[in-house]
Structure 1
Amino acid sequence: MKPRITVYDYLRKHWLLVGILTCIFFAGIYPELGSKNGPLHTEYSVKYGAVTVIFLISGISLKTESIYETFQQHNLHFFIQGFTFIFIPIFTQIFVHLLNYFGVNQWVLRGLVTVACMPPPVSSAVILTRAADGNETAAIFNSVLGSFLGVVITPLLLLINLGFTTLVPLLATIIQLVTTVLIPLFLGQIIRNFTGFRGHTLPLNTIGQCALLFVIYTTFCDTFETPEHHLSAADVLASVFSVLLMQIILLGLSHAIAQCFQKHFTIQDVITIIFCSTHKSLTLGIPILRILFHGYSHLSQISLPLLIYHPTQIILGGLIVTQLKDWVQLHRSKRPPV
């Protein structure tokens, strides 16, 4: 007879998803608190606070030898970057062509194409990979690599797919990545190797996930605060449906294709692929859209898919984290003892 699962047990197992939904609820009630112009000063508390904490914890937790091993996983890096910058833009062009038959707003469709050209984010994909027991080191490496590549590749993709291009602030992007990702990682490795601290006395994983929840909360505050000028209910519904369907298909395809290369990828690698190859950056995307379409009366329709895509990828990620973690545990239990 199977033991009964109580509400407490369920909430404890799926607490990250519950936390995400709670963040959305409170952001909807009072978005002014966590918005860009709010009292929390998210331009500093998120960028140089929560994100820095996430990668400092990663630096403390990661084994140095695993970092060296990750650098050698060329097949994994090539797959993730190829899926992000080649497969998704091609897939989106086909997807948009099909949506065109259903009368979806042309500017919303352009917004979807713009989303497809964006690089991966540097926080959500990493912390979700960590929460699902995936290859965290590879997630960090590919998120940072994708952000650097996006400085060059994203404008080229926009030129090819839309006929628009823009100069991404190269120096500012590099400084932000170094200060919020690389320096915290380096400090974490110094703490680990020179002090012997491994974080066993502190719930580092829980602290990192709480930092992610703060990022999620502020993201939704900005989403709810964004004015929806010139947006009809049909545009909003079409964008939500299109983005949700697009992400579900991409998650399924990334998993299915990665599974075809079982000889090259472990289950932890597949989890990294699922998150890192399908997530898109809002931080770089919004400034690019502001530059590209400044003065356009249809800027709100173009921006809408990206504004929806970012929180949606977090919600879908939270929904599948527990299942992926159980998948890893099941695989480990089937391994023959060494």
Structure 2
Amino acid sequence: MRLLERMRKEWFMIGIVLAIAGAKLEPSVGVNGGHYFRVLPGLGCWCSDRCSLCWAVCRPLKPEITVSYIAVATIFFNSGLSLKTEELTSALVHIKLHLFIQIFTLAFFPATIWLFLQLLSITPINEWLLKGLQTVGCMPPPVSSAVILTKAVGGNEAAAIFNSAFGSFLGIIITPLLLLLFLGSSSSVPFTSIFSQLFMTVVVPLIIGQIVRRYIKDWLERKKPPFGAISSSVLLMIIYTTFCDTFSNPNIDLDKFSLILILFIIFSIQLSFMVLTFLFSTRNNSGFTPADTVAIIFCSTHKSLTLGIPMLKIVFAGHEHLSLISVPLLIYHPVQILLGSVLVPTIKSWMVSRQKGVKLTRPTV
């Protein structure tokens, strides 16, 4: 029972593994260009390649349409539908906190990674994995994990919600600019095409989702649809087709040495930035409460997989090394959840002790 419960909670992580394994076993199914599913034996096959082991109704998956447009638009329509904008108003006035998180996330983080990669470029680590590290630095904060962990600790949840949502909105504009600034020569898509596709598949569905929410708000509050599970399921489809492109390309080779080093580097980056944001936000003249510090630690160091993978799919559309570029972000996501979860008791203990200390030192009237 415990194993089943654990699997239920970690179904998305298991789904990522299965998606990549499925792409490895049958990459032709989800590769760009309209490859085909196979049909049941005896029903015939209309595939151009004539299937020998048929198992499903023959039809094109066409990820260049179903994934690049429909799947991405579905994720952001879902986000617009689920985002409770009324919960953000209470946190709106805390300008200093918001500036700290957004500047750290979308300016300091990518710039520091760029400087670090100048040193790593002389190592034998796969160059496309290093480029993937840079894309991680350019991503906005997530809407889910940072908020969940901030709430688990008892930190400033309203600030975490605001900055996660606001960071996602900023990311729609700033992240592609940062990707083109640091990795512009790697993109095979014209600048105007990137933003027109982002607008149609990200901004428009997000706005439509918010508009629809206004009319069915009561129903949503009553039924509580599984928004997170829906977005995660669609995201697994995007991950699957991304790796189908990789495994169908015989020229791509990923060595285990590079992968292990990238995992270690990602863990080190996250831990270092969490310590750095903690030190900055707990200075005597910082003006941040212990609850604010908790929100800062998680929102400043976490990166969005939900926004990141679709955006990479758009910016690097057709790039033969897209999946390798995506690998660091796929690693970063579970690491940030694992590391954050492990540190929750420690951070919570610190926050409670600091809050007690503030109450004891507060003058009585």
- For 2:228, the aligned partner's letter is N
The normalised TM-score by structure 2 is 0.66
* Alignment match, 2:52: none
Percent of residue pairs identical: 24
- Cα distance change on mapping 1:328 and 1:188 into 2, 3 Å: farther
- Cα distance change on mapping 1:226 and 1:145 into 2, 3 Å: farther
* Alignment match, 1:308: 324
**C-alpha separation between the residues in 2 aligned to 1:199 and 1:35?**
39
1:259 is matched with which residue: 278, 293, 310?
278
**C-alpha separation between the residues in 2 aligned to 1:267 and 1:309?**
30
Q: Is the 8 A contact 2:24 2:247 kept in 1?
A: yes
1:195 is matched with which residue: 216, 219, 224?
216
Q: Deviations over 1:38-89 (max 9, x none)?
A: 3321122222222222222221222223455469522211110123431110
Q: Is the 8 A contact 1:126 1:140 kept in 2?
A: yes
- Describe the SS at the equivalent of 1:78: helix
- Cα distance change on mapping 1:24 and 1:109 into 2, 3 Å: closer
* Alignment match, 1:18: 14
- Describe the SS at the equivalent of 2:121: helix
1:200 shift after superposition: 4.5
Residue 179, structure 1, aligned to residue 204, structure 2: no
1:318 shift after superposition: 3.0
- Cα distance change on mapping 1:128 and 1:238 into 2, 3 Å: same
Aligned pairs (5 A) from 1:94-173: 94-97=119-122, 100=123, 104=124, 108-109=126-127, 112=130, 116=134, 120=138, 125-126=142-143, 135=160, 138-157=163-182, 169-173=190-194
- For 2:20, the aligned partner's letter is I
1:322 shift after superposition: 6.0
Q: Is the 8 A contact 1:80 1:273 kept in 2?
A: yes
1:312 shift after superposition: 4.0
* Alignment match, 2:299: 272
**C-alpha separation between the residues in 1 aligned to 2:2 and 2:244?**
32
Instruction: Give the root-mean-square deviation of aligned CA atoms.
Output: 4.0
1:128 shift after superposition: 5.5
- For 2:313, the aligned partner's letter is T
- Describe the SS at the equivalent of 1:194: helix
* Alignment match, 1:250: 269
- For 2:245, the aligned partner's letter is D
1:317 shift after superposition: 1.7
Q: Deviations over 1:137-176 (max 9, x none)?
A: 53454345345335544444458xxxx6989623212212
**C-alpha separation between the residues in 1 aligned to 2:71 and 2:278?**
33
* Alignment match, 2:361: none
**C-alpha separation between the residues in 2 aligned to 1:119 and 1:328?**
23
Of the structure 1 ranges 138-147 and 196-205, higher mean CA displacement relative to structure 2 is found in 138-147
* Alignment match, 1:34: 30
- Cα distance change on mapping 1:308 and 1:70 into 2, 3 Å: farther
**C-alpha separation between the residues in 1 aligned to 2:188 and 2:28?**
31
Of the structure 1 ranges 199-208 and 139-148, higher mean CA displacement relative to structure 2 is found in 139-148
**C-alpha separation between the residues in 1 aligned to 2:92 and 2:246?**
35
Q: Number of residue pairs matched?
A: 302
**C-alpha separation between the residues in 2 aligned to 1:287 and 1:119?**
19
- Describe the SS at the equivalent of 1:198: helix
Q: Is the 8 A contact 1:254 1:277 kept in 2?
A: no
Larger of the two Rg values belongs to structure:
2
1:74 is matched with which residue: 99, 106, 118?
99
* Alignment match, 2:312: 282
- For 1:308, the aligned partner's letter is L
1:88 is matched with which residue: 113, 117, 120?
113
Q: Bigger relative contact order, structure 1 or 2, given CA contacts below 8 A and separation 6+?
A: 1
**C-alpha separation between the residues in 1 aligned to 2:6 and 2:169?**
34
1:22 shift after superposition: 1.7
Of the structure 1 ranges 43-52 and 132-141, higher mean CA displacement relative to structure 2 is found in 132-141
* Alignment match, 2:363: none
**C-alpha separation between the residues in 2 aligned to 1:30 and 1:189?**
38
